Amino acid sequence: MGRLVLCSKREDFYNICNYSDEYFVSSSENHGEFGYLKTYSKLRIQTRNCYKSNLGFAAGTGTFIYRDCKDVEALRLILEDFNGEPNSIRNKIVGSYCLVISKNEKVYVFVDASSTYNVFYSLTEGNIIATNTYYHIAKALPSLHIDGELYVAEWLHRTILEKTIVHEIKKITGTIMLVYENYMWHVKEIGYPEQVCTNDFIGKVTSMFQAFPNLFQRNSIFLTGGQDSRLSLALLLKLGIKPRVYYGVGNSSDTSTKENDKAIVDEISKKYSLEERLMNWNDTDKENIDTYLHKYGELFTVYYMNKNFIYEFENKIETDFICFGYFGEVYRTIESIDKYGKNKFTLADYIDELYLVGTERYFKNNSYQDYRKKIYDLHLIACENKGLNPSSLTKDDFQTLNTIYRQRWDTVVNNFANIFFYSAPLFGEFELVSYAEKQPYLNKKNSRFQMQCIEKLDKELLTIPFFSHIREKTLNKDTLELLEKHSLAATYKETIRNIVKSPMLLHYLKHIYYYFVNDLKGLQEINNERQRKSILKQNWDINRIPILKDKLDFDLIIDFMEMRDIKRLQLLQFLINDIEKK
């Protein structure tokens, strides 16, 4: 259940399978009038992901639980129950997945309603090419067009909805399915499943995952000292699961690990007698970058292609199921909207004052307006899909828009983990997210709703301090609000970053900040970054990014952006160059 390849044409099929066969083990293969389908097992655990009978077949990749069953037994039940309407069974499936069902002379392909599992496709004249990474589809296309604005969006924020940086390739979202009928493939709108979550939210959450203790013998969690992963841990503990705790230790700004953070993880692990294992996330070179790209496609950018991070998954992490804190932000407010001065605003305000704030200065030749229009138009579609009025938005609406962003940003590591083990964002289930989105802003302010959830799942977790986004926080036990400890340095840090025009002055102020908060790791990071940026200015050939050369000011990017953001742009540059050279 690590990967799938679906193609109408034999040549396309073998082109893409050539990449997969080198690194993955095939677990099933089907062919017929619809074309060719091949699925691959997960890399670290054995999985069975195809069931065949006289009804047809059902194949699945990712992680899916149906009627308290997984793998082939779940697929058997899905095939028997499926009536041609995905939502009739999606509201009973838990997980992050893609299903391919052949029944009644038709073939159906769809993903989870929250769009957490990545499957991309290119559809031309009824012919399909589909797999888990847009990179591998692009390598099979005879010609393609790179969208410059979406290239920038993928770098700065990741693209949203069905878009990718390649015009000819789209993502299967939770509102569509691919269908083969009448000798051709086409796209069909299916909408969202019925939302049936009642006010007993915690009861719904626990019943949804009640089968997990019996389905997975070894469970793990990536834990930090913050609030989002603690929400996931609270659910596991409520289910009677004592997961192994993994914590990454890095030496660069690629990872936000701090001594305060680890101390809290240690305290949680000790209090609940959880086995804790440290992971090596130290920065690495980028040698053999093409091997990682060919194997993982665009997922090779995970933690900025940190080979130590990838090695942990490939060789050291031992588990059946692993989870993270992703989608936890849906259950609270975030700093940008808390500080925002308007209670009512337009979509244009949202784009200019929240979503794209601080990015305009990195553009040149008036190209920012083209980029802004692309982003605005995509969010206009998102508003229409979600029933929001773009002329009159509120802070209650903000989370709905922010969730659309999270659906692509928060799912990267989950999709990467799904290649090796079972993995799903526990609080990313469509029904749960829909309920959380409807919580009023004031109920989620200062993480109140999130803390209420943790209290009902395992209230003892609230007795342990929080260290979130590199800041200490304290819990008001009476109101269940998580409040930031007052720090003048932290308050003005982001403001100063956006207004200072001199790189030297910015570096000096950062130095003062980390010295003031006694962050030795931060001091080491900024000194290392300064050296790297000096070398980068001399060696980075921007002519190798012709589509962006006239859009972006690379000198300003190097001067003011974090090194991890620059690394990500370099990785995307390598990906695009590889695609275009064919």
pLDDT, tens digit (0-9, with 9 covering 90-100), for 181-192: 999 999 999 998
How much is the pLDDT for 490?
54
Q: Which residues contact 313 (CB under 8 A, 6 or more apart)?
A: 44, 416, 417, 419, 420
Higher pLDDT, 122 or 194: 122
Lowest-pLDDT choice from 81-85, 271-275, 390-394, 523-527:
523-527
Q: Distances from the Cα of 185 to the Cαs of 6, 109, 177, 181, 470, in angstroms? A: 11, 10, 10, 7, 49
What percent of the chain has a predicted confidence (pLDDT) above 90? 76
Angle at 392 between CA 388 and CA 395, to 5 degrees: 80
Q: What span, in angstroms and rounded, lies between the C-alpha atoms of 117 and 544?
A: 32
Angle at 303 between CA 97 and CA 431, to 5 degrees: 30
For 46, left (φ over 0), alpha (ψ -120 to 50), or beta?
A: beta
Higher pLDDT, 468 or 509: 468
How much is the pLDDT for 365?
85
Across the range 470-485, mean pLDDT stands at: 88
Confidence of residue 467 (pLDDT cuts 50, 70, 90): confident
Looking at the predicted structure, is the pLDDT value of residue 212 above 70?
A: yes
Q: Distances from the Cα of 304 to the Cαs of 246, 309, 412, 554, in angstroms? A: 19, 10, 12, 19
Q: What span, in angstroms and rounded, lies between the C-alpha atoms of 394 and 438?
A: 12
How much is the pLDDT for 43?
96
How much is the pLDDT for 491?
55
How much is the pLDDT for 1?
61
Strand ranges for 269-419 from DSSP E: 276-280, 321-323, 344-345, 393-394
Looking at the predicted structure, is the pLDDT value of residue 497 above 80?
A: no
Supply the mean pLDDT for the chain.
91
Lowest-pLDDT choice from 98-102, 373-377, 427-431, 544-548:
544-548
